Structure 1
């Protein structure tokens, strides 16, 4: 929420109201769909996890209200105009893919690993046509962020 000052106080102490005052309000939503699946390779000991997140884009309303005064010495507003615009920005569309595993090392110790190898393939960020070195392609695809989470229950 952004708005202009209501009045300015000059050196002589009298209030000089702004003839126009603008209020801006932005209300936005960014819907996200998330899907996940788990496969128990060894039930109770080891499971494979994969998932995807799809961000559709940013949508919302931009509201601009402008109040005007004919007399800058009066605090009363003479007219108000409001513009409401709905927008959808599809350039924010994105997908992410994760794969990983969960290992149950005992009743109180669990290790979760996440590896986002599928992101590189999904976003087509590997250009195979201009690369003559197969090992560079392998590095681009397989050298990705690998995260671990160890949980110990006390």
Structure 2
């Protein structure tokens, strides 16, 4: 690797470190614990515009607004629940990765259990039917038995 390549690599690395440091300083808080709360909240909330991306990782303008709102509320002393409730009230239940169990979300939470139970019932019915069909269809009638014996005797005779 030439000196120019090394110089370019060093410059790019130093610029990327500066950008990372700027990202952390965009939302300064009073303590490292508050900074951790901010990080946890922004990772817990989903961006309304992006598909399955949290607001910490999203570059969408609405995610930036949500991060600023979280930062503002944390500076005012709001609890995590208050922050989440305010953003849910503003943007809807979609911003939660784990929706709460409420009457309107019962079906959402119960669907996996219902699917497993229905699947087990279907498997049980198929197995029972196949056993029942095997038991009833395997017995030969006397006429069929006589005919089979005759075919075997004819096959053995040279």
Task: Give TM-score scaled by structure 2 length.
Answer: 0.20
Greater length-normalized contact order (CA 8 Å, ≥ 6 residues apart): 1
By percentage of residues, which structure has more helix? Answer: 2
The structure number with the bigger radius of gyration is 2
By percentage of residues, which structure has more strand? Answer: 1
Task: Give TM-score scaled by structure 1 length.
Answer: 0.21
